[in-house]
Structure 1
Amino acid sequence: MNNREITPDAAGPPPKGATVARRALRDGVYEAILEKLLDGSAPPGSSLGIDSLARELSVSPTPVREALVQLEHTGLVSRVALKGYRVAPPLSPEQLSELFDMRGILEVAAVERAAEHAQDLLPELRVAHAQHVLAAHKVEKLRGSGETPPDFADLREYFAADWEFHLTIIRGAGNRFLTQSAEALSAHVHRLRQTAHHGTMDMQEAIAEHSAILAAFESGDPDRLRSTMRDHLAAVARRVSADG
Structure 2
Amino acid sequence: MTRPDEATMVLTPRPGKASKSGELSIGGRPQLLADKVYETIRQAIIDGVIEPGERVTENSLAERLSVSKTPVREALMELRRVGLVVDWGRRGGQVIMPSREAFQEVSEAREAIEVLISANAALRTTEAEKQAIRKAAETSLKIAKTGDVDGFHNINVEFHALIAHGAKNARLLSMLRDLFDLSSLLRLRDLPPVHDLVKYAGDHIVIAELIAKGDDKGAAEAARAHVLYTRRENLEAFDRRRRA
User: When the two structures are superposed, what TM-score results if normalisation uses the length of structure 1?
Assistant: 0.72
Find the aligned partners of 2:172 and 2:25 in 1 and give their Cα distance.
33
Q: Deviations over 1:72-125 (max 9, x none)?
A: 1111112222221111222442x3333222222222222222222566242121
Indicate the residue corresponding to 1:181 in structure 2: 175
Larger helix share, 1 or 2: 1
Please say if 1:37 is aligned against 2:31.
no
Displacement after TM superposition at 1:210 (Å): 0.7
Aligned AA for 1:3?
E
C-alpha contact 2:211 2:219 (8 A) present in aligned 1: yes
Q: Considering only aligned residues, what root-mean-square deviation do their CA atoms show, in Å?
A: 3.2
C-alpha contact 1:49 1:85 (8 A) present in aligned 2: yes
2:83 aligned residue (75, 91, 114) = 75
Displacement after TM superposition at 1:23 (Å): 5.9
Worse overlay, 217-226 or 35-44: 217-226
Structure 2: 5+ residue stretches without partners: 1-20, 239-244
Report the 3-state secondary structure (helix = DSSP H, G, I; strand = E; otherwise coil) of the residue aligned with 2:49: coil
C-alpha contact 1:122 1:218 (8 A) present in aligned 2: yes
2:59 aligned residue (27, 46, 51) = 51
User: When the two structures are superposed, what TM-score results if normalisation uses the length of structure 2?
Assistant: 0.72
Please say if 1:3 is aligned against 2:23.
yes
Find the aligned partners of 1:210 and 1:202 in 2 and give their Cα distance.
13
Q: Say if 1:28 and 1:137 are closer, same or farther in 2 by CA, change over 3 A.
A: farther
Please say if 1:89 is aligned against 2:97.
yes
Please say if 1:168 is aligned against 2:175.
no
Indicate the residue corresponding to 2:122 in structure 1: 115
Structure 1: 5+ residue stretches without partners: 7-20, 141-154
Displacement after TM superposition at 1:170 (Å): 2.5
Worse overlay, 162-171 or 206-215: 162-171
Count residues in correspondence. Answer: 215
Please say if 1:216 is aligned against 2:210.
yes
Find the aligned partners of 1:79 and 1:25 in 2 and give their Cα distance.
23
Q: Percent identity?
A: 28
Q: Say if 1:84 and 1:175 are closer, same or farther in 2 by CA, change over 3 A.
A: closer
